[in-house]
Amino acid sequence: MSGGGRTEKTHMDYAYELDLAIKPDSTVPLLDREYGTFSGAGIPLFSLGGGVFRWALFEILTRLHALRGYYIAETPIIASSELFKVSGHLDFYRKNMFLFDIEGHDYAIKPMNCPYHILLFMSQVARFRGKVPLPFKIFELGRVHRYEPSGSLYGLLRVRGFTQDDAHIITPSDKAIDVITDVFDEMMMVLGNVFLLDLSKADIHLRLSLSDKALIGTEFMGTREEWSQAEGALEEAARKLAGKYGVSYSMEEGEAAFYGPKIDVVVKLEEAGIVKEWQLGTIQFDFNLPRRFRLYELVRSVYGDMDVFIIHRALLGSVERFLGIYLEYSRGRLPFPLAPLQVGIIGIQTGGGLDGEIEAAAERVANALTGMGFRVGVRMANKTSLSGEVRQIESTIKPPVLAFIGEREVREGKVTLRIYDHSTRRRKTTVMGLEELVEGGFEDIARGLEEGVRRLIGQAPRIPLRLDQLI
Ligand SMILES: [Zn+2]
């Protein structure tokens, strides 16, 4: 994969530049990257920039899901291994699990969030009986750990510890089509509004993994009726989405997991003549867990004769993996609401009499913007070092907004802004009065840069931070 002459950086190069993560496939502590701490192989450690990125993204995702009617959960990372015995993970997934013993009791680090979410649903139904409305939707940014052989670990793309934007939906069977189309809408909202992907130019494909009808009851668990109802819902939803979004879909018979059929969403984006295929979210039916947890019996005793499905879904999948793919696609540029450093302020000194005023103006802008909740850093440069400084900032922390204050700006009471535009992949220059900028003019600019997120959740997360050390 060559990038038309430009040096090909990997997502880990970009992650380092943005100060997002340590090299996660190394057991050697890299002190300069890690600020004195280290994690195990395949378990990424998000440092200063990475922590800010996760905070901002998680706030957006949490608010979006709350607005879309999901309950928000946070379930423990360590569980009694009994839970995973009931769920079947200890039988079928044991080789991927981290298991340990404390005081003679067996514990597991959760490899998936599903068993907890099913327990939460069942305890709600048991407590409130028929008052729990269906579909019941439960969301969690769930940190899971799965053993992978060390040879297969790769950057953020293949890890042993990651965070899923995970949800489980318990739905009456006749509402399953609506549930699936709603989930797909949510996926498009996040990709388009938060990550600024131009979905009109993307080739989106739905891959339906179905059963082999002859093997239902042997290789594929569940009844023929369950499979045909669920597969019918998947096909009908795929047809609806093809009409609404112009997506294509294919049906792959015999490719389903043993416990249910699924849709994988594959997005192809072309960039510099190279087509990159991303496998993103999944919408997966499950006939196994409801049986193992005796969920059908509970639902029938409370809701009467009703067929329900359990659907697992993730919009991005693994946040770490998505970030890795996204960094390569965007060449390490994160959108304004997610960027660790949003505004880099550069004072350009000349050695003349205005140097003090230039520094004071840069600090004033920095303080005003921090007060508005933006993440800013300040750097002083001189005319000869300026281009080197800018090059360094652009090849490391890459703030979406650069603000320049030099002699001319101080004399005229102005600030020159260079704002990155994700659609053209270039910076646009605009000049604004310094007073206007600190009195709210920057809020107007930010509103434009946060527009997608604001459309989704009403406002963008504001995490005031001075990150001077990162530029
Ligand atoms: Zn699940």
Per-residue pLDDT tens digits for 83-116: 999 999 998 899 999 999 999 999 999 999 999 9
Boundaries of CATH 3.40.50.800 in the chain? 343-470
Mean pLDDT (the chain) is: 90
Distance 20 CA to ligand 1 centre (A): 27
* Mean pLDDT confidence for 221-248: 93
Q: What is the pLDDT of residues 416-430, one digit of tens each?
A: 999 999 999 999 999
Tell me, in angstroms, the distance from the centre of ligand 1 to residue 312's CA. Answer: 4
Rounded Cα distance, 3 and 453, in Å? 31
How many angstroms is it from 7 CA to the middle of ligand 1? 39
Spacing, Cα 462 to ligand 1 middle (Å): 31
Identify the pLDDT of residue 263.
96
By the 8 A CB rule, do 304 and 420 touch?
A: no
For the chain, give the percent of residues with pLDDT over 90: 75
- How remote is the CA of residue 236 from the centroid of ligand 1, in Å? 22
Other Cβ atoms within 10 Å of 320 Cβ, number: 27
* CATH 3.30.930.10 location in the chain: 11-75+113-330
**List of residues 6+ apart from 182 with CB closer than 8 A:** 68
pLDDT confidence band for 1 (50 / 70 / 90): very low
User: What's the 170 CA to ligand 1 centre distance in angstroms?
Assistant: 11
Ligand 1 centroid – CA 311 distance (Å): 8
Q: What angle (nearest 5°) sits at the alpha carbon of residue 100, between those of residues 99 and 103? A: 150
24-38, 44-58, 301-315, 392-406, range with the lowest pLDDT: 24-38
Distance from residue 391's CA to the centre of ligand 1 (Å): 44
In the predicted model, is pLDDT for residue 4 greater than 60? no
Ligand 1 center to 68 CA (angstroms): 19
| DSSP states along 155-213 | TTTB-SEEEEEEEEEEEEGGGHHHHHHHHHHHHHHIIIIIS---TTS-EEEEEEEE--G
- Count of C-beta atoms within a 10 Å radius of residue 327: 25
> Mean pLDDT over residues 233-249, rounded?
94
* Closest C-alpha to 184, from 114, 113, 239: 239
pLDDT value at 37 more than 50: no
Matching residue, tokens 């009471």: 413
- Asked if the model's pLDDT at residue 19 lies above 90, the reply is no
Using the mean position of ligand 1's atoms as its centre, give its distance from the Cα of residue 168 in Å: 6
Residues 6+ apart with CB under 8 A from 338: 53, 56, 57, 194
392 CA to middle of ligand 1, Å? 43
CA–CA dist 368, 361 (Å, integer):
11
What would the pLDDT profile of 382-406 be if each residue is shown by its tens digit? 988 999 999 999 999 999 999 999 9
Q: What is the secondary structure of 436-455 as a DSSP string? A: HIIIIIHHHHHHHHTHHHHH
Structure tokens at 23: 């090299």
Does position 202 have pLDDT exceeding 80, yes or no? yes
Cα 164 to ligand 1 centre (Å): 10
Span from the CA of 113 to the centroid of ligand 1 (angstroms): 6
Cα of 459 vs centre of ligand 1, distance in Å, is 30
Average pLDDT value for residue range 441-454: 97
Residue of 389, 426, 425, 421 lying closest to 404 (CA atoms): 389
Number of residues that this document lists for the chain: 471
CATH number of the 11-75+113-330 domain: 3.30.930.10
- Tell me the C-alpha distance between 322 and 329, whole Å: 10
Tokens in use for 296? 């059908």
CATH number for the domain formed by residue range(s) 343-470: 3.40.50.800
CA of 43 to the centre of ligand 1 (A): 21
Helix (H), strand (E) at residue 245: helix 224-245
| Residue partners of 411: CB distance under 8 A and separation at least 6 | 354
Q: How far is the CA of 469 from the centre of ligand 1 (A)?
A: 40
The residues, ordered by sequence, that sit 6+ positions from 351 with a Cβ below 8 Å of its Cβ are 382
